[in-house]
């Protein structure tokens, strides 16, 4: 019922419209579908544990007898441990993390990276394997992975229980993103670059990284999801693109009318992703659409004035569940950003919360991230039932 003089009612309506406009500008760069509540699709908020500290930090005592390093035994996780993938297996959380040894030059990307494995009963306290589970070896991927290594994993599970790992291959000259598969998280089969067979070899020399395969929640497991008879993957650093697959190993980029990879997300001036966006953890298919958690780098010029230049923080985007290339909404501000000292120190002092791992565990979402290219951190949501997802 309307009460009050006409001018008062008009003022109230204008105030409500203004508040709605502010809310939409805050939470959604692209308007939500008619009838939707702004930001109701977001995962989060993500909150750090009490008295938070890195959950995985470098260990100078870890030795690994490398099959190809001249030195033989290497301190494989002595300098930095960061950028983690995560999966739930047999009731526990497993994290696969990038570890850098003390070889090479003292600069970002100047060492050799290997992938380590850690297990937890609560998602916060982890016990690590003594040696890496994925590393450069004398195999058919050696030229792509030596001496730079295996970096930045993301992981999903197939319906048959096979684990699909996407990771970056780096040889100190060029890089690409590859696929590996496993049944137990410790023994991996390398399949090479994800796009090497696509379109007659058109993309075999493409420099690309950061692959996130779309998943759905089945029990406490995130399972690779088929949409319209295909698996889907968001990929890219600088611009975010799309690809499809029938077997989770061989992928085909989705192209635009000009025959180039279709651009779904690009940088935005004066936002947290003003330098570029980059794919985060495997995206999640929900009743509201596909939620893509991604990482944004803030530009030194025309960036977000509330963030230091070159900071990496976390945003979210929503795509249609029926059309994975259709953007429905996108946060205009980060949903998670560097705040703790260990997120602003290390080898990347501008500040980094670089999300790569997401699991649903004990009725909570756990987000695993690399901090300052030196440590692994975690943040969680409040407990919520699966019906709310």
The percent of residues above 90 in pLDDT, for the chain, comes to 83
Instruction: Supply the pLDDT for residue 72.
Output: 84
Q: Which of 216, 269, 262 is nearest to 243 (CA)?
A: 262
Residue 7, pLDDT > 80, answer no
Structural domain spans, the chain: 1-30, 32-388
Residue 19, pLDDT > 70, answer no
- Tell me: the pLDDT tens digits for 318-377? 999 999 999 999 999 999 999 999 999 888 889 999 999 999 999 999 999 999 999 999
Instruction: Supply the pLDDT for residue 2.
Output: 43
Mean pLDDT over 105-119 rounds to 92
Instruction: Supply the pLDDT for residue 38.
Output: 53
Mean pLDDT over 257-286 rounds to 98
Instruction: Supply the pLDDT for residue 108.
Output: 82
26 to 30, 245, 279, 288, 303: CA distances (angstroms): 11, 35, 21, 19, 16
- Tell me: the pLDDT tens digits for 116-138? 999 999 999 999 999 999 999 99
Instruction: Supply the pLDDT for residue 389.
Output: 73
Instruction: Supply the pLDDT for residue 387.
Output: 66
Q: Cα torsion at 104, 110, 111, 115 (round to 10°)? A: -170
Question: Are the C-beta atoms of 104 and 114 separated by less than 8 Å?
Answer: no
Assigned CATH class of 32-388: mainly beta
- Tell me: the pLDDT tens digits for 22-61? 333 333 333 333 233 457 899 999 999 998 999 999 999 9
Bigger pLDDT: 387 vs 302: 302
Mean pLDDT over 285-307 rounds to 97
Mean pLDDT over 157-180 rounds to 97
The percent of residues above 70 in pLDDT, for the chain, comes to 89
Mean pLDDT over 49-74 rounds to 94
Residue 1, pLDDT > 70, answer no
Residue 16, pLDDT > 50, answer no
Of 21-25, 68-72, 98-102, 293-297, least confident by mean pLDDT is 21-25
- Tell me: the pLDDT tens digits for 187-206? 999 999 999 999 999 999 99
CA distance 368 to 358: 6
CA distance 213 to 262: 17
């Amino acid at each position: 019922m309307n009460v009050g003089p006409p001018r008062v009612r008009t003022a109230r309506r204008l105030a409500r419209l203004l508040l709605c406009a502010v809310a939409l500008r805050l939470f959604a760069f692209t308007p939500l579908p008619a009838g939707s509540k702004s930001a109701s699709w977001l995962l989060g908020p993500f909150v750090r544990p009490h008295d938070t500290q890195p959950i995985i930090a470098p260990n100078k005592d870890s030795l690994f007898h490398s099959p190809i390093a001249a030195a033989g035994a290497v301190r494989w996780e002595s300098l930095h441990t960061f950028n983690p993938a995560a999966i739930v297996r047999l009731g526990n959380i497993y994290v696969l993390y990038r570890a850098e040894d003390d070889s090479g030059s003292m600069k970002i990307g100047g060492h050799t990276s290997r992938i380590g494995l850690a297990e937890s009963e609560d998602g916060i306290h982890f016990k690590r394997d003594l040696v890496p589970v994925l590393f450069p070896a004398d195999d058919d991927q050696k030229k792509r992975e030596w001496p730079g290594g295996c970096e930045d994993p993301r992981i999903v599970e197939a319906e048959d229980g096979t684990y699909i790992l996407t990771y970056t291959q780096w040889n100190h000259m060029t890089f690409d993103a590859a696929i590996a598969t496993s049944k137990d998280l410790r023994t991996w089969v390398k399949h090479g670059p994800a796009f090497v067979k696509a379109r007659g070899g058109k993309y075999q020399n493409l420099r690309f990284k950061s692959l996130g395969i779309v998943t759905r929640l089945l029990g406490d497991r995130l399972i690779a999801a088929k949409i319209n008879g295909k698996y889907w993957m968001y990929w890219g650093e600088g611009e975010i693109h799309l690809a499809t697959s029938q077997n989770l190993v061989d992928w085909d980029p989705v192209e635009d009318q000009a025959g180039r990879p279709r651009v779904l997300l690009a940088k935005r001036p004066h936002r947290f992703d003003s330098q570029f966006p980059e794919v985060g953890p495997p995206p999640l298919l929900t009743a509201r659409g596909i939620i893509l958690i991604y990482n944004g780098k803030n530009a030194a010029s025309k960036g977000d004035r509330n963030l230091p230049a070159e900071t990496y923080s976390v945003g979210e985007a929503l795509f249609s569940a029926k059309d994975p290339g259709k953007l429905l909404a996108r946060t205009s501000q980060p949903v998670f950003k560097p705040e703790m000292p260990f997120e602003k120190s290390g080898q990347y002092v501008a500040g980094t919360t670089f999300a790569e791992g997401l699991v649903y565990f004990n009725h909570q979402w756990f987000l695993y991230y690399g901090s300052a290219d030196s440590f692994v951190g975690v943040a969680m949501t409040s407990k919520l039932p699966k019906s709310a997802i």
